[in-house]
Amino acid sequence: MITDRPDKTSGIMYSYSLLLLVLLCGMIFPGDVIGAEVRSPDGQIAFSIDIGASGTPRYHVHYRGEEIIRESKLGMHFASQHGFEYDFTITRTRTGTTDNTWEQPWGERRFVRDHHNELLVEFAANERPKRRFKLRVRVFNDGLGFRYEVPRQSRYRNVNIVDELTEFHLPGEATVWWTPGRRFNRYEYIYQSGSLDGIEMAHTPMTVRLPSGVHMSFHEAALVDYAAYVLDQRRPNLFEVNLTPWSDGVRVKTGTPFLTPWRTIQISPNAAGLLNSSLILNLNEPNALGDVSWVKPGKYVGIWWGMHIRTFTWSSGPKHGATTENTKRYMDFAAEYGFDGVLVEGWNIGWDGDWFFNGDLFSFTETYPDFDLQEVTDYGRELGVRLIGHHETSGNVTNYEKQWDEALALYESVGVGAVKTGYVADAGDIKWVDRNGVAHFEWHDGQFMVDHYLRSVKKAAEHKIGVNPHEPIKDTGLRRTYPNWLTREGVRGQEFNAWGDPPNPPEHTAIIPYTRMLAGPADFTPGVFNLTFQGMESKQRVQTTLAKQLALYVVLYSPLQMAADLPENYEQRLDAFQFIVDVPADWEESIGLAGEIGDYVVMARQERGGSDWYVGALTDEEARVLTVPLSFLDAGQRYRAEIYRDGSDAHWKDNPYDIVIEQQDVTAADKLQLPLGASGGAAIRLIPVN
């Protein structure tokens, strides 16, 4: 249970506003509709709140004068008490302003400015004893968030939430990019786009473009001790928060006082503006772990892609990937090219047979006989390379939790600094066993798992280990509070190119920067060089050019960034591989320069603690020439641009390896012309020169 504690980074100065006066008038003349409004610091976004005829709290949002959220309800229903839905009046409002800058230990940018106006609205129902709740609203220049704060109340000691009534009522038709919610493959779907018509339930972030060109992305921040939500289109254009239920049907089991996560809307006049939003991080609590200098971002290779393309197996046998010898080979490669880590999957007992369904058999401490944990970690230590651990649970959470302490202590004892966890199970099939031995099956994004994922991060922190969950809960910015929560999957990643039907389409990575990536970092695992591993004619291939694989290192942020392919495939293309060797995984600053959702994207990032800049640009199935102004560079400084771009005949389908690697001297006054082939890209390193 989280309790309401003041945000230590903010120095909110509450001022009783004029609104209170308006409010008092409302109380003197009952029946009047009373309300309040709060605007972004630049005045462009206005969030207003009032009470409807039956005493139902509701809100609207305007952006630059346009109504972008129509009248939308607030409230919730409980299993055995009166809900927060009707009969309410506003009893008090308070406003405040925060403007401060905080520092990330690692991240897409070092300094984050948190500049917002806040409105706190207190509601009470008219009967006695009064039902009470509050809504806290924060409006930034890049969007807004609001959360329910429910104070301690005698009749609400224990509360089972059966429905949250929060609505997002879109003004009319819009273009939307979305993946389906409550479906078996969790967050791992190809994005759909088009009108709102086809949507029943959608995961967040879900991003829309209004006819005016305004872009909005719906998500949540600080998801703690609560269920995640999907957007449920209950009426045309009207989305309701649909909380993922427990296996017994209750959505959230809590008691007063409690807080909900922030319901967020990122707002921008154009697509590229979304790329520069820090809203989700700003709505999270500051670092709760103290000194986190032991948390290390970095690049890694791994015994991984080989299993997905069936060169290796996770299971024991002649093709077993996780052998001592093979791991040492990967460590040699990592050391030679400056990688920080080597991921090894399939090292522990339990992979034989159908591991998808045998999660109860996984041991997290016993290795296969051909893998010597001590020997490989000793070997790595000599080379300056760390083993990245792996815990696949197949969704059998009780089996994992029973072994947690021992498993993490083992990894800590041999110097493992980060562990990739896995929850391969159909959505709704996460198994836990209660005290009576009865098995229960939960969703990956219900309250039970929200709690499990966060406990796994806290547990790992006790052992100074970072975490990278696959089949995770969606990112809601908790890396700010728990900086060892480095990255996660929660996206249809590179692995689908190995065996997915179909593989990721060319537009996939031109959509996810504006949707999934708005939530936070993703372990997408870029960098496959042998794009046509089953031959040019096979459908099972990577649908990008080689240059686009390089662009992904800049476009898709992850503090643990993988070079996914086999070492021998990199050794064949050392010229192109040089970009992966050079590109960092930790940044001083990141700038979304240009783009349109599903068409293209251009990102620039500056190395953390350095002066080099990197640019990544990529396109969907359409070839295009992009002009990129370099005005983000230091004025008056000359830079050498090392450019890795598509050749003039590059095309993902029949000529994916056509790449040009060239150099050019540039300054901030220059514009780079980047010709991109179909599903192509460009990756550029900019180095200051005298």
Binding residues for Ca ion restricted to 129-158, rule: CB under 5 A = none
Of 438-497, which residues contact Ca ion (CB under 5 A)? 470
- If the CB atoms of residues 420 and 470 are measured against Ca ion, the closer one turns out to be 470
Q: Which of 495, 507, 588, 607 is catalytic?
A: 495
Q: Which is nearer to ligand NOJ, 109 or 470 (CB)?
A: 470
Q: How far is the CB of 508 from ligand NOJ (least distance, A)?
A: 16
Residue 484 in tokens: 């060892």
Report how far residue 440's alpha carbon sits from residue 438's, in angstroms, rounded to the nearest whole number. 7
Integer CA distances (angstroms), 347 to 262, 320, 350, in order:
40, 9, 9
Assess 565 for contact with ligand NOJ (CB under 6 A).
no
Query: How, if at all, do strands 215-221 and 206-209 pair?
Result: antiparallel
Instruction: Considering the complex, state which of residue 167 and residue 495 has its C-beta at the smaller distance from ligand NOJ.
Output: 495
Strand partners, 624: 676
Instruction: Name which of ligand NOJ, Ca ion, none residue 22 binds, using a CB cut-off of 5 to 8 Å depending on partner kind.
Output: none
Binding mask 284-323 for ligand NOJ (x = CB under 6 A): --------------------x-------------------
At its nearest, how many Å lie between ligand NOJ and the CB of residue 153? 43
Please count the CA atoms within 13 angstroms of the CA of 543 that sit on its side-chain side. Answer: 21
For ligand NOJ, the binding residues in 416-475 under the rule CB under 6 A are: 422, 424, 470
**CA end-to-end span of the chain:** 56
Location of structure tokens 């070079």: 563
CA gap 371, 456 in Å, rounded:
25
Q: Is residue 66 annotated as part of the catalytic site, yes or no?
A: no
| CA dihedral over 467, 468, 474, 480, signed as positive or negative | positive
Instruction: Look at residue 660 and give the partner it binds from Ca ion, ligand NOJ, none, a contact being a CB closer than 5 to 8 Å depending on partner kind.
Output: none
392 touches ligand NOJ by CB under 6 A: yes
Paired residues of 60 in beta bridges = 48
Query: Which is closer to Ca ion, CB of 78 or CB of 423?
Result: 423
Query: In this structure, what DSSP letter does residue 397 have?
Result: H
CB of 495 to Ca ion, least distance (A): 6
Nearer Cβ to Ca ion (283/397): 397
Nearest residue (CB) to ligand NOJ, 141 versus 549? 549
562 close to 330: Cβ distance less than 8 angstroms = no
Closest by CA to 471, choosing from 402, 393, 388, is 393
Residues 48-67 contacting ligand NOJ, CB under 6 A: none
- Minimum CB separation from Ca ion for residue 256, in Å? 38
Site for ligand NOJ in 339-358 (CB under 6 A): 345
Given the complex with Ca ion, which of 452 and 470 has the nearer CB atom?
470
For Ca ion, the closer CB: 395 or 483: 395
Q: What angle do CA 286, 291, 292 make, to 5 degrees?
A: 80
The span from the CA of 59 to the CA of 442, in Å, is 33
Site string (633-672) toward ligand NOJ, x via CB under 6 A = ----------------------------------------
Q: Residue 157 has what DSSP assignment?
A: S
CB atoms within 10 A of CB 309: 18
Query: Measured between alpha carbons, how far is 435 from 321 in angstroms, rounded to an integer?
Result: 37
DSSP string of 104-134, one letter each residue: -SSSS-SEEEEEEEEEEEEEEESSSSPPEEE
Whichever of 114 and 345 has its CB closer to ligand NOJ, that residue is: 345
Supply the minimum distance, in Å, between the C-beta of residue 497 and Ca ion: 12
**Amino acid, single-letter form, for residue 491:** V
The torsion angles phi and psi of 60, rounded to 5 degrees, stand at -135, 160
Sole binder of ligand NOJ in the list 108, 163, 232, 495 (CB under 6 A): 495
Residue numbers 359-378 binding ligand NOJ by CB under 6 A: none
Q: How far is the CB of 489 from Ca ion (least distance, A)?
A: 5
Q: Where are the alpha helices (DSSP H) in 234-389?
A: 271-274, 279-282, 305-308, 324-336, 373-383
Peptide bond into 257 cis (omega under 30): yes
Look-up of token digits 């809100």:
59
Radius of gyration of the chain (CA): 25
Please identify which residue in 445, 489, 507, 642 interacts with ligand NOJ, judged by CB under 6 A. 489
Total residues interacting with ligand NOJ, rule: CB under 6 A = 8
Q: Which residue is nearest to Ca ion (CB)?
A: 470
| Nearest distance in Å: CB 115, ligand NOJ | 37
Quick one: what does residue 422 bind among Ca ion, ligand NOJ, none, with the CB cut-off 5 to 8 Å set by partner type? ligand NOJ
Residue 81's CB is within 10 A of a number of other CB atoms, namely: 15
Residues in the chain: 690
Least spacing, CB of residue 534 vs Ca ion, in Å:
20
Q: How far is the CB of 468 from Ca ion (least distance, A)?
A: 12
Binding site residues, ligand NOJ, CB under 6 A: 304, 345, 392, 422, 424, 470, 489, 495
Active site residues per annotation:
495
Binding site residues, Ca ion, CB under 5 A: 470
